[in-house]
Amino acid sequence: MPPTKTPSKKTAKNKKPTGKNVKKPVKKASPKKVLPKKKPAPSKKALQKPSTKKSQPKASQPPQPPAPLGAISISEIEIIRRDTDKYVSGRRVQAIEVSNTKALVSPLTLAELRSNLVGADINSVSRYGMTIILEFAKGAGSLGIELGNGGQLRRHTEKAPKDKANVMVLTFTKGGQLRVNSHLDDTRIQLYTSERPLKPSETGLDLIDPIPKELFVAHIRNQPPEKTIKEVLTDSNFLIGLGDIYSDEILYKCDLKYDRPVGDIPDIKLVLMVRNLRELLYEVIKHRGTTLPSGYFCDLEGYSGMYQEQLEVYGRDGELTSSLHEVEKDKFKGRYTYFCRAVQH
């Protein structure tokens, strides 16, 4: 068999590729000119010589209306009262701890609390206005807890880690604890005895109790006729613990604008309002209260409320109501109020 010829290096180099094997010559990109970065010009502040004079304090800005705060209303207080009554009634106090004595209303002291309440049984839990009252047996007195906007009552085991917001802890002989939390330092604790009886700070109507419509209308008519309806509804000397959230909601349900003078509202509207108020607050209790992102309300087990999902106007500016009308907000008496211009007059 004749030997095969191998192409020489010379012929292999000179052989031109054909067809798909042809590679197009690639043009080399010319290098871009890189310009040196310019240094930023020094600011006027940097050019100034450092002053030896002490800086003057800035003028204080006018206070801005705060963001929606989940203020605890009378409905949330009633939810906490009912839960607490089920948990503590019949229990005996074994120990009391107070980590923040600022919460104790003078002249009350921790020593007096322990002397009166340690070893005493809790008969029941009642409520006077916005104050939750633990009624003790054998003349030990009553413990009044006014939660404020940042307060909570929480049920815990003894081994559960304590919160930084704890101001008082009641430990029971049967086990378990009732803890009082205060996130805004506005919780107040008092001891009521025969020598130091309960002095009500709120004289308004309690909407959880049945209110005759004639009494409600008469209270409205006793107000100055030029006073706005929102001012009346949020006045604790007229209604206890309604607050901004539910006053805005009830005004929407009654088609009344917040700045309407009470003297301009007919009696038939006021009768409708008292009926809607009771229905509204019972719905709030049914949904376990309202917990806004900026609020602290929770029940005895630490669960948030659910009524915020039912709110029509409060905190919903720019959104649509269930009747497809836009919600607006205005500054009113240093706070925001929410309403629907299309239906409220």
Q: State the CATH number of the domain containing residue 316.
A: 1.10.8.50
In a domain, 257, yes or no: yes
Please give the tally of structural domains in the chain: 2
Predicted confidence pLDDT, tens digits, the chain (345 residues): 455 444 444 444 444 555 545 455 544 544 444 444 444 554 444 444 444 433 333 333 333 334 344 579 999 999 999 999 999 999 999 999 999 999 999 999 999 999 999 999 999 999 999 999 999 998 899 999 999 999 999 999 999 999 899 999 999 999 999 999 999 999 999 999 988 998 877 779 998 988 999 999 999 999 999 999 999 999 999 999 999 999 999 999 999 999 999 999 999 999 999 999 999 999 999 999 999 998 999 999 999 999 999 999 999 999 999 999 999 999 999 999 999 999 999
Closest CA to 71 of 242, 312, 237, 205: 242
Tell me: do 238 and 162 sit in the same domain: no
In a domain, 38, yes or no: no
Last residue of a domain, one of 158, 192, 226: 192
Q: State the CATH number of the domain containing residue 134.
A: 3.20.190.10
Tell me: do 166 and 267 sit in the same domain: no
In a domain, 69, yes or no: no
Tell me: do 220 and 333 sit in the same domain: yes
Tell me: do 82 and 187 sit in the same domain: yes
Query: Given this model, what pLDDT does residue 202 score?
Result: 72
Tell me: do 237 and 308 sit in the same domain: yes
Last residue of a domain, one of 127, 158, 192: 192
**Residue 21 region by backbone torsions, left for phi larger than 0, else alpha for psi between -120 and 50, else beta:** alpha
Q: Which domain holds residue 287?
A: 213-339
Q: How far apart are the first and last CA of the chain?
A: 114
